[in-house]
């Protein structure tokens, strides 16, 4: 028997939307088997996740607070991917956003809130742009792969932030109990909480960013040019698009979003530059979210909340059955879901054909059995 993938002629929207849902269901089933294997009741784990991330007091607020930077970092990934540019630099751009935002907040100390808060957020966006422009220029003018440069610059950014806090006595730090840590920023730069919940108005910024990104993608000439350039640089060039400039602009947009994530973390949660307390890993999780959401802004908001719920329930899971379920089980779940979703995509783009007997399928068909 020959099993073959045959490319589908028509792209179907519902199949794209179904893939991540089925991937999540498959991941939950597989994880349930794992929990049974180690002697933990899966129902207990899943109800614990729902309780700690959604139904308990303040749980939903905490989940939305966690989702806020995640929405922004995954939008950053999706923005670049609109032009088929895979940037994995949201992590480093987030850190530079945080460094710039903290610096601005400290510099603007004493000014009224209408100056300090917008200044802090704008500085955060600028920090992200600065760090995104390095791979942007290298790609546009030297043809260097954005994947690798953005990846490597993440580690440089982490080390730089570590240096600012622990290796230097800069204006960003203060000594508390003889232990260096980030200097707390002025209250005028804090994003206030929504009601009594832990989620701040940063969420509104993230949601507004999602709307803006959707508008850029769907309504503007620039969004259309991004799509054309991503599909074929040659075609874009013939139609008069400046491809080098597009690469730079796409990185500016992506960096703005990631930098804002850093600013929102500083202004809304950590209130200081703290490389260990900052949302480390949110840049990478943002890629997972963007892929699961098929790089669509609305989908990103939904998937971010789901993943944030999972992350927030991690520590509560440890209390279940003598520490048999460590918080890292959340990484396993995200990883399994992502792998299933990636594997599912082939069924969206192609249909499976089974052929019996001999004879090769028509040319143009790829064969699974022929790996």
Partner 1 sequence: MFDISWTLTFAAAIASGTPIVFAGLGALLSERVGVVNLGVEGIMLVGAVTSVAVYGATGSVQLAFLAAGIAGFIAGLLLCIVTITFRSNQIVAGLAITIFLTGVSVFAGSSLATDIRLPTPEEVALPLLSDIPFIGQVLFNHDVYVYSSWLLALVLSLFLFRTRPGLVARSLGENPQAAAALGVRVNLQRYGYVSVGGALIGFGGGYVAIAILGYWTGEATVGGLGWIAIALVIFASWRPIRLVAGAYVFGLIFQANFASQAAGYSFIPASFLSMLPYIITIAVLTILSLTRGRATGVVPAALGVPYHPGER
Which of these, 235, 269, 242, 304, lies nearest to 76 by C-alpha position? Answer: 304
Alpha helix segments (H runs only) across the chain: 13-37, 42-50, 59-81, 90-107, 113-142, 146-162, 202-219, 221-231, 233-238, 243-265, 282-292, 297-317, 329-349
In the complex, least distance from residue 362 CB atom to partner 1, rounded to whole angstroms? 9
Residues 64-103 that bind partner 1 (CB under 8 A): 86, 88
Residue 328 is a binding residue for partner 1 (CB under 8 A): yes
Q: Which residues of 256-277 are buried (b: 16+ CB within 10 A; e: fewer)?
A: bbbbbbbbbbbbbbbbbbbbee
Among 145, 175, 232, 319, binds partner 1 (CB under 8 A): 145
Q: Judged by CB under 8 A, does residue 346 bind partner 1?
A: yes
160 binds partner 1 (CB under 8 A): yes
Shortest Å distance, C-beta 14 to partner 1:
21
Does the footprint of partner 1 cover residue 331 (CB under 8 A)? yes
Say if CB 35 and CB 332 are below 8 A apart.
no
Q: If we measure between CA atoms, which residue out of 83, 92, 76 comes closest to residue 139?
A: 83
CB of 268 to partner 1, least distance (A): 25
**Closest approach of Cβ 210 to partner 1, in Å?**
21
3-state secondary structure of 368: coil
Using the CB atoms, write b or e for 46-85: b if 16+ within 10 Å.
eebbeebbeeeeebbbbbbbbbbbbbbbbbbbbbbbbbeb
45 lies in the site for partner 1, by CB under 8 A: no
Q: Please give the full DSSP string across 151-213, using - where no structure is assigned.
A: HHHHHHHHHHHHIIIII---TTEEEETTEEEEPPPPGGGPPPBSTTSS-BTHHHHHHHHHHHH
Residue 142 in contact with partner 1, rule: CB under 8 A: yes
Name beta bridge partners: 173: 182
Measure the CA–CA gap between 266 and 164, rounded to whole angstroms.
Answer: 15
Of the candidate spans 94-102, 180-188, 255-263, 339-347, the one that interacts with partner 1 by CB under 8 A turns out to be: 339-347
**Per-residue binding letters, 209-248, with partner 1 (x by CB under 8 A):** ----------------------------------------
Q: Examine residue 155 and tell whether it contacts partner 1 (CB under 8 A).
A: yes
- Binding of partner 1 at residue 112 (CB under 8 A)? no
Q: How many CB atoms lie within 10 A of CB 294?
A: 19
Q: Establish if 18 lies at the interface with partner 1 (CB under 8 A).
A: no
The reply to whether 171 sits near partner 1 by the rule CB under 8 A is no
| Least distance from partner 1 to the Cβ atom of residue 160, Å | 7
Number of residues that bind partner 1 (CB under 8 A): 53
Place of tokens 């279940």: 320
Q: What is the dihedral of CA 133, 139, 145, 146, to 10 degrees?
A: 30
332 binds partner 1 (CB under 8 A): yes
Q: Does 194 bind partner 1 (CB under 8 A)?
A: no
Site string for partner 1, 265-284 (x = CB under 8 A): -------------------x
Of positions 324, 348, 353, 355, contacts partner 1 by CB under 8 A: 324
Out of 212, 345, 348, 355, the residue judged to bind partner 1 by CB under 8 A? 345
- Give the phi and the psi of residue 76 in degrees, each rounded to 5: -60, -45
Residues that bind partner 1 (CB under 8 A): 38, 86, 88, 138, 142-145, 147-149, 151-153, 155-156, 159-160, 162-163, 167-168, 284-285, 287-288, 291, 323-324, 326, 328-336, 338-339, 342-343, 345-346, 363-368, 370-371
């Amino acid at each position: 028997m020959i099993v073959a993938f045959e490319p589908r002629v028509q792209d179907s929207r519902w199949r794209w939307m179904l893939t991540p849902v089925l991937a999540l269901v498959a991941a939950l089933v597989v994880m349930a088997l794992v929990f049974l294997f180690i002697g933990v009741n899966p129902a207990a784990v899943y109800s614990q996740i729902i309780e700690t991330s959604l139904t308990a007091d303040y749980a939903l607020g905490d989940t939305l607070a966690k989702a806020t930077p995640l929405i922004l970092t995954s939008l950053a990934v999706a923005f670049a991917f609109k032009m088929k540019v895979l940037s994995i630099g949201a992590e480093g751009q987030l850190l530079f956003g945080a460094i710039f935002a903290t610096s601005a907040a400290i510099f603007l100390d004493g000014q009224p809130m209408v100056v300090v808060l917008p200044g802090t957020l704008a500085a955060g966006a600028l920090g992200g742009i600065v760090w995104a422009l390095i791979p942007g220029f290298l790609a546009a003018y030297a043809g260097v792969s954005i994947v690798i440069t953005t990846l490597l610059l993440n580690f440089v950014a982490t080390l730089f932030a570590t240096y600012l806090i622990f290796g230097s006595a800069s204006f960003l730090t203060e000594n508390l109990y003889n232990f260096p840590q980030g200097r707390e920023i002025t209250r005028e730069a804090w994003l206030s909480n929504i009601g009594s919940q832990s989620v701040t108005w940063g969420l509104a910024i993230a949601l507004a960013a999602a709307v803006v990104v959707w508008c850029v993608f769907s309504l503007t000439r620039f969004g259309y040019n991004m799509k054309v350039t991503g599909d074929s640089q040659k075609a874009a060039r013939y139609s008069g698009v400046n491809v080098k400039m597009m690469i730079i602009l796409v990185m500016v947009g992506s960096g703005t979003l990631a930098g804002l994530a850093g600013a929102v973390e500083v202004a809304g949660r950590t209130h200081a530059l703290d490389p260990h307390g900052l949302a480390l890993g949110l840049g990478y999780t943002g890629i997972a979210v963007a892929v699961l959401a098929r790089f669509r802004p609305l989908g990103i908001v939904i998937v971010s909340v789901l993943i944030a719920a999972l992350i927030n329930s991690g520590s509560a899971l440890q209390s279940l059955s003598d520490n048999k379920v460590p918080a890292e089980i959340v990484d396993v779940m995200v990883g399994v879901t992502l792998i299933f979703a990636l594997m599912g995509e082939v069924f969206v783009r192609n249909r499976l054909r089974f052929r019996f007997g001999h004879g090769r399928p028509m040319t143009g068909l790829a064969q699974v059995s022929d790996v």
